[in-house]
Structure 1
Amino acid sequence: MTIEYAVIGKNNSDDLTDRYALKNDTLNASSLKRLAEMCAKDYNDNHDGWGAYWPIDIVVFSEGRSVGVFRVEQEYNPTFTASCQKG
């Protein structure tokens, strides 16, 4: 199954050459919502999505046909690590 996606405001979803391909050999999305979340993770990790203003709207395509537009929120979970500088 070929899954592609476009980020509204970033890509022209009508242009077949202006979409991101979801590269996942073990594609096991249990729902379209989960598939949109996988696309958002790919965008964040591989296409500079970390610098985007979230939430974003993503158009998901399966075999070239749109299966829906999804608004995806990004949860932020900071981690803090301390090191002793003077003691």
Structure 2
Amino acid sequence: MYITNWDDFQKAAEDIYASSPDTTRYVHTFHGAAGELVLKVTNDQTVVKYKTNQATDLKKFIKLNLSLMEQMQNKPVNV
């Protein structure tokens, strides 16, 4: 299912990771012809997706990447 609100997607993605860090996967793909960025987070039980074609969402995407990477490395989040 695609989530249309960024804040809802980010919260859902972080919740999925927090509930099952060993099985969570985070994938991003860019469809150049359509100019769309698609983000997907899953733990094999829950799947959330976010799709955008807005350049302004790039900073949000980078911030989410940083947050998840810090959690994966067990570092405090300083975003």
The answer to whether the superposition gives a TM-score over 0.5 is: no
TM-score (norm 1): 0.28
Relative to total residues, which structure has the larger helix share, 1 or 2?
2
Greater relative contact order structure (CA < 8 Å, 6+ sep): 1
TM-score (norm 2): 0.30
Q: Which has the larger radius of gyration?
A: 1
